[in-house]
Structure 1
Amino acid sequence: MSNSMDEMLIPPNAKRGRNSETETEIEDNKDRLSDLHDCILLHILSFLSAKYAVRTCMLSKRWKDLWKRLPNLILLSSDFDTFKFFTKFVSTILTRRDGKTALHTLEFERVGSIQSPLIKRIVNYAVSRNVQRLGIDVEFDMQHLLPCIFTCHTLTSLKLIVYPKGYSRGSTLLPESLNLPALTTLHLGKFTFCSSGNNRADPFSAFKRLKSLIIDRCDLKDAETLYISSLTLVSLALLDPPSQTFYKVELSTPCLHRLACTGSPSLYLDDSGLSSVQEVDIDIDMYSYSPVPPLILLCWLQGFVNVRSLTVSTNTLQVLSLVPGLLKYKLPSLTNMKRLKIKREPLSEDLKMIKIVMINREREATESRKEAAKLRKEADLLWKNRRTLTAPLPDGIVDFLIQNSPSAEVEIIDCLC
């Protein structure tokens, strides 16, 4: 490698120790790792980011050119002190990598904006080498690059998170023409899905082998319904939808087994598409009080008719507890639940303030002095402990969830930071 690359990748103290004495010492200590077959060593290096995989060239002559045959490239700008060094490193990697070695995976992540030539070179390099797994997480206007990515016939997994320049509130429009016949895993972040007619967006029907789908901070344009149609989809995650807009998610996914939801509950899930779901994981929050999100959450629960495993966070249960008269409500669902897992986590600041406001409203409305005193004490306790880590478990909430499956196993675990 060139001296400039050495300066970027190899610490000064390591370079001083890189001599014949070091190699002799390694040999004396019977370097069993270096005796392993190349395919095993390359598999081990594939778990490292490219910067640290390349650094192994200093270990001995055995390792000098091994990195050039890496099947997986993980390029992270956070590994470098300056973007200039990162750009130079990426350029060198793409130039010096063995062209005969198949490229299985390429992951590229840049914190901050990026210039067009570099990202174009990375995408073209990956596509031209029949990459199977591609992950890109950048701040960039990628409209002109998407056709190249979305016509790659070898891709089986695609993770594409694209922030508009300056991290503005906008998002990238997903192109209408998609041709990814081998794709089984898709993760889209910060995209907008356009209407395909009938006031709904239908962006995923072209994927005939899709098994896992993650929709991350995505929105709709000129549509009120996101239609997800797939005969093969097994796992679906709806992450952090825009809290200021509400839209419906209609499912035509007969094989859907796992569902995960995070963020504010601003999505209406169509009940008819949830009958096949058996595993659910919900971790949601509220950022300002509105009766709509708690009611949406309750509607979700009503649709889980065949769920066997339900995982919820304590913040989720706090949102659910905001439904008026919740504990008197008879659930028509969760009759087949075998396991309820509750993740105890920090109570969010927004939920603390919402709970205090709601308790004070209830206290002002009650005519019972005893009840008013109890509510005052509850509000004072929440305020006093507003900086504590533990999120309280609402009274009666567990019994409410297992009312139709009293023999379900209940597990409470701490996830406190």
Structure 2
Amino acid sequence: MFRDKMKRRSRSENEESEDRLSDLPDCILIYILSFLKTENAVQTCILSTRWKHLWKRIPKLLLRSSTLFCLEDEKFLTFVSKILTLRDNSAALHILDFECDTDHESELVPKILNYVRSHNTQIQQLGISITRDSDLLMPCVSSCLALTSLMLSVYHIRHVVYPETIIFPKSLNLPALTSLGLVGFTFCGDENGCAEPFSAFTKLNNLLIKDCIIKDAQILRISSKTLDSLSMSYNLFDFNKIELAAPNLCTFTFCGTLDQKIYASGFSSVKEVNNGTPDQKIYGSGFSSVKEVNIDAKMFSEFDKSPMILLCWLLDLANLESLTVTSKTLQILSLVPNLLEVKLPSLSNLKSMEIKLEPLEDHTKLLYLVKEAMLKKAAAKSRKEASKLRKAFKAGLRPPSVPDGIVDFLLQNSPSAKVNITSDY
């Protein structure tokens, strides 16, 4: 009996010490490693001889200077260079995400782009984020015909008025592309003064344009039957209008301080809209089927048309079910004269509303305008009321984060809608 117990104990200890993970096939281990950051996957080479070379065959490379914050510029250069040298070139590379904001960018970018070119028939997802132009960038990208996702960011040292940007090719042949993000690019117009840079992408679902400009064009045309999500942020478009024809568009994000007119024949199916500074008028019956809206508006001038444009948007949201707004957006909306007397024909299907509180900074135009509007309303009641409020402001009173009466105004046709107020500060 004693011997039997010792045998069972010995067998149990052997099972506990057995490395079952290392007994898995290479393809399974490589698949597991692909979920790690590249630097963590490389570190597994010290586990045993079984793991020494596995990382070299991972089909994904994430090389971002912002995440490798513990590495100095020189060490980041060495790390990336060794990864590219030691990796097994016979192994397929499907995903590469490279970000560089170091003094050695001019040395690393050519190495990365040459490596991409050597795997151009395999790469499906490519992200490049750099701070200066490279003559190799667009020729390299155009050779990657298997791409389904492309994100290009070129953060130049920006001029106050117009940033220096890379010209985006008028016709870039990427037949499998479904997701495209561009930061810091220029779109050039044709002989008719129209820029239509995305017409070649027949399978495009997601499009992001940020910090871009238009050259030699009065019209930016975005036309796509497959486009599901469009994001436009902080662009410097100096032209008359944006023509948007996207019948299947579901999400529209817009941030900026532009004055372009947006002719949106494709807004009829939009389900979510995120807006930064809504200085644009949207033409057409586009908001009729919107289900979810997120608005983060900003205002920098007393001549800004944002309050009235916000109200116009709300009037068009006949089928809205979910509304998310910042408290600054509500402050801007409250500047519409006699707003609380307006009878909304819309928002009758609203089911939920979320208000994200934001601090109203001192010495800003919006704070000044909100105070002036409150004083004007108080003066309409009596001079005494206005004088009392003015003294309170001088003593440090701040306008309420959520203007009085505005929640009831928005819920006048949907009084049972749930209201949630959140704050990040």
Q: TM-score of the superposition, structure 2-length normalised?
A: 0.78
Distance 1:404 1:369, change over 3 A: same
Q: Partner residue of 1:105?
A: 95
Superposed, 1:226-305 pairs within 5 Å as: 226-242=220-236, 243=256, 245-253=258-266, 256-305=269-318
Question: Of the candidates 368, 376, 394, which is equivalent to residue 390 of structure 2?
Answer: 376
Asked if the contact 1:151/1:178 (under 8 Å) is kept, the reply is no
Question: Of the candidates 402, 409, 424, which is equivalent to residue 416 of structure 1?
Answer: 424
Asked which structure has the greater CA Rg, the reply is 2
Asked if the contact 1:360/1:376 (under 8 Å) is kept, the reply is no
SS in 1 for 2:209: strand
Task: Give the deviation of 1:139 after TM superposition.
Answer: 0.4
| Residues 118-168 of structure 1 deviation map (CA, whole Å, 9 limit, x = unaligned) | 323323322442211111121011465224314532111111111124677
AA partner of residue 345 (structure 1):
L
Task: Give the deviation of 1:219 after TM superposition.
Answer: 3.2
Matched, 1:405 2:418: no
Distance 1:113 1:350 in 2: 37
> Gapped runs of 5+ residues in structure 1?
1-24
Distance 2:60 2:15 in 1: 29
Asked if the contact 1:235/1:256 (under 8 Å) is kept, the reply is no
Asked if the contact 1:87/1:118 (under 8 Å) is kept, the reply is yes
Superposed, 1:87-166 pairs within 5 Å as: 87-112=77-102, 115-129=105-119, 130-142=122-134, 144-165=136-157
Distance 1:319 1:62 in 2: 62
Distance 1:337 1:91, change over 3 A: same
Q: What CA RMSD, in Å, does the superposition of the two structures yield over aligned residues?
A: 3.4
| Residues 53-96 of structure 1 deviation map (CA, whole Å, 9 limit, x = unaligned) | 21222233332212111111110113153222212221221222
SS in 1 for 2:324: strand
Taking only the aligned residue pairs, the percentage that are identical comes to: 46
Asked if the contact 1:228/1:250 (under 8 Å) is kept, the reply is no
Q: Partner residue of 2:10?
A: none
Distance 2:103 2:260 in 1: 31
Distance 1:357 1:26 in 2: 76
Q: TM-score of the superposition, structure 1-length normalised?
A: 0.79
Distance 1:384 1:61, change over 3 A: farther
Superposed, 1:13-412 pairs within 5 Å as: 33-78=21-66, 79=68, 80-112=70-102, 115-129=105-119, 130-142=122-134, 144-165=136-157, 169-170=162-163, 171-196=165-190, 199-242=193-236, 243=256, 245-253=258-266, 256-342=269-355, 344-349=356-361, 354-360=366-372, 363=375, 366=379, 368-373=382-387, 375-376=389-390, 379-380=393-394, 383=396, 392-407=401-416, 409-412=417-420
| Residues 271-322 of structure 1 deviation map (CA, whole Å, 9 limit, x = unaligned) | 4444454332222323444332223333333343433322222222222222
Task: Give the deviation of 1:116 after TM superposition.
Answer: 4.1
SS in 2 for 1:284: coil
SS in 2 for 1:349: coil
Distance 1:321 1:357, change over 3 A: closer
Asked if the contact 1:236/1:260 (under 8 Å) is kept, the reply is no
AA partner of residue 238 (structure 1):
M
Distance 1:364 1:257, change over 3 A: closer
Task: Give the deviation of 1:178 after TM superposition.
Answer: 1.6
Distance 1:66 1:385, change over 3 A: farther
Distance 1:260 1:354, change over 3 A: same
Task: Give the deviation of 1:364 after TM superposition.
Answer: 6.3
Asked if the contact 1:226/1:248 (under 8 Å) is kept, the reply is no
Distance 1:212 1:29 in 2: 49
Asked if the contact 1:240/1:264 (under 8 Å) is kept, the reply is no
